[in-house]
Homo-oligomer: A and B are copies of this chain.
Amino acid sequence: MNEVNRNVLLEEITKAVFEELQKQQLITINDWKNKYVPISVSARHIHLEQEHVDILFGKGYQLTKYRDISQPGQYACNETVTIKGPRGMIENVRVLYPIRKQTQVEVAESDARRLGIHPPVRESGDLKGSAPITVIGPKGVVNLEEGCIIADRHIHMTPEDAKRFGVKNGQKVSVEISGPKGGIMHNVTIRVKDTYALDMHIDVDDANAFGLKGNEFGKIIP
């Protein structure tokens, strides 16, 4: 068994055992409960406002569910769009439900380079002065003057989670990652809401740089 397969196997075993322990409510080790968060990798995606659904997919079009994502009530849609910048375009960018007040495109820096755009690192929803981008759907095109960002690293959690971790909504924490390309991510935003499920979201560049597949845990450093 080579080094890579061994690591993959170890990760899978660790995850399975952890999930089983969670099910059986056997995890009492404070270090886990009070410090570690599961990590998910967010690929590039788009949140749409109603007007833009109408333009891109046709008036009155209803988005359809592809699969659930980690946050309750949100899902990835079957619908995708193409995004375009001055240098290039990227196809098959997944639309995420629900509808938002303002269309928001989330990319990684590697995507931004392909597109030839310079999106700022921002919290979701903070779009003022963010990068312009063109969105192309099967029925129409939307030229956004602003709306494209590199999403900040963030952790969704409930008020109970926040209490346990000793953190507050909006607080910036650091998160430590183990492994051969391990390290610490700074400027990770805590997002607290009753309806959230505990999950840290990073982009594909972070995942690749830190050697993460999206089934690992990170350690919160307040």
Taking beta carbons and an 8 Å cutoff, which residues of A are in contact with B? 2-4, 108-110, 113, 118, 120-121, 129, 150, 152-153, 174, 180-187, 203-206, 208-211
Contacts and interface: CB of A to CB of B under 8 A. Distances in A.
Nearest to A150: B181
B183 A186 contact: yes
Contacts of A181: 109, 121, 150, 153, 185-187, 206
A182 to B, nearest CB: 5
Given A109-B211, A110-B208, A120-B4, A174 B183 contact: yes
The list of the 5 closest CB pairs from A to B, nearest first, reads A209-B209, A205-B208, A121-B180, A184-B184, A109-B208
Chain A interface main SS type: mixed
Contact of A129 (B2, B113, B184, B185): B2
Contacts of A129: 2-3
6 contacts: A4-B118, A110-B205, A120-B180, A181-B206, A184-B186, A205-B205
A106 B208 CA distance: 15
Contact of A3 (B3, B120, B183): B120
Given A109-B211, A121-B180, 4 more contacts: A110-B205, A203-B209, A205-B205, A206-B209
A184 B183 contact: yes
Contacts of A109: 181, 208-209, 211
A109 B4 CA distance: 13
Given A120-B3, A120-B4, A187-B181, A210 B209 contact: yes
